[in-house]
Amino acid sequence: MSLFKTLEKQIVLVTGGFQGIGRQVVTTFQNEQAIVIVADLTYKNDELKQIDNQEFQIHLDVSDESSVENLTNQLKIHDLIPNVLVNVAGISTMDYLIESKTSDFDKTLAVNTRGTYLITKYIVQLMVAAKRPGKVVLIASQAGKNGYRAMSAYVASKHAVLGLTKTLAIEVAKNQINVNAVCPGIIETSMKHRERKDGAKIRGLTPDDIEKEDNSQVPLGRTGTPQDVANVVLFLASPLSDYMTGQGINVTGGMTMN
């Protein structure tokens, strides 16, 4: 049964929606009867492809302005101006800062920071032009509030996402567009599993050591699931959050509390 009837038939754009947190966000909105546009680097089609009554798919490289422009044009052509934007697309690289590759730093910021800037800029332009009130939810991280060893590029990129969130929230409040960020903690995804392997190698530990360390840091006693994050995204997209904007909401099991 739907918890948020007001989301029925609303148009929701989810970037990075092929797997992990992004896919769970897609499924969660579809359960509320929303129409979801899934934009992801994995897809090959540059035109919107309708999968069923609730899902469209399209290729998107958030770091490539021409790709973002193409998505924008496709939304115009098909009259699918989003009521909700959820930007999940992101990557991570790992190494100690003084040993890291500049190319890795540039790549991480290109996707996580420039990509967030581009997709938000172009989609909110559509919302404003259509005089459509709406919700923007950006996926940041607790790494946007703290520092973590061997993750300087990721940490820098997610701090920037929170800065974009706060600034845009002020700028489009007059348009009745709410802009908030979700800051996940340790979430069990393929990216997190790869990070454990990379981190273990860098620190001379095993992935099991890292997993035990992860769990020991969470007051609620477990790491998170993509559904934990998707639930908060859904809340921020719903009328229940109408008086919230410019916030970075932690979903960390208590690991980050500021």
Catalytic residues: 154
Query: Distance (Å, rounded) from C-alpha 186 to C-alpha 255?
Result: 9
Distance from first CA to last CA of the chain, Å, rounded? 34
Q: Could you tell me if 20 and 92 are in contact, meaning their C-beta atoms sit under 8 angstroms apart?
A: no
* 180, two tokens: 């908030």
Query: Distance (Å, rounded) from C-alpha 184 to C-alpha 20?
Result: 13
The total number of residues shown for the chain amounts to 258
Q: What residue has token string 């005089």?
A: 131
* 88, two tokens: 């999940």
Q: What residue has token string 């950006």?
A: 138
Q: Could you tell me if 233 and 187 are in contact, meaning their C-beta atoms sit under 8 angstroms apart?
A: no
